[in-house]
Amino acid sequence: MQTILIANPKGGSGKTTLATNIAGWLAGKRQRVAIDDRDPQRSSTGWLERRPALFPPIALIESGARRKDAKSLGLQWCVVDSAAGLHGDELRDALRPADMLLVPLTPSAYDMVATHNFLAGLAESKAVRQQALPIGIVAMRVDARTHSATELDDFLGGCDFPVVAHLRQTQVYVGCARDGASVFDLPRSRAEQDWEQWRPLTRWIAKHAAVKG
């Protein structure tokens, strides 16, 4: 089973949006995937409860379930939607089973400061120092016409970890959150632009899964 950890200590950074859409992409590829919802707000759980039965299935790993319990489901993928404020022992415990880590980041000064500190701490972890854990940054809710988007690009230019995708600010994600859908469940007429933005990210995931395999 491949585990993708979605983490950023700042609340509102886009962790659930990233986690649910990655799970939706994998499910659409006929992969057996589950979401491990560790956020006390349980937003991913609510999204799964709203997900139409006709959509590709995504399982939920119940709170407190052990890794071997997840394996008993025959899963190929687990997407971990982590809680805000993840640090210290909790962060180390979350990193241990992870096969890759994605860090969502919005164009906000508060988010950039929190993420800078988070990435600095990650750089000191054993798995990262040994280059055993692939880490990618995903820019979320980006409007290229704004000054904040320029500031975000300046910040990302100084990061030691790769920026694997820029995802736009759009009501498409709002609708998906409401309806239990991912952008990959939508018709081409509504989501083609977003599919294109996701392509570098899905390739990054596939590349690192293949390397491990």
Q: How far apart are CA 200 and CA 163, in angstroms?
A: 10
pLDDT reading at 185 higher than 90: yes
Residue-wise pLDDT for 44-65, tens only, equals: 999 999 999 999 999 999 766 6
Given the DSSP bridges, would you call strands 77-81 and 59-61 parallel, antiparallel or unpaired? unpaired
Q: Please name the residue that has the structure tokens 């640090």.
A: 87
Residue-wise pLDDT for 63-121, tens only, equals: 666 556 666 678 999 999 988 777 777 878 888 889 999 999 888 788 888 888 888 77
Taken in order of first residue, the domains within the chain and their CATH numbers are 2-212 (3.40.50.300)
What secondary structure letter does DSSP report for 39? -
**Order of strands across the sheet with 100-105?**
59-61, 33-37, 77-81, 2-6, 100-105, 135-142, 163-168
Residue-wise pLDDT for 122-160, tens only, equals: 777 666 666 678 999 999 888 777 888 788 888 878 787
Give the predicted TM-score (pTM) of the model: 0.91
pLDDT at 200: 96
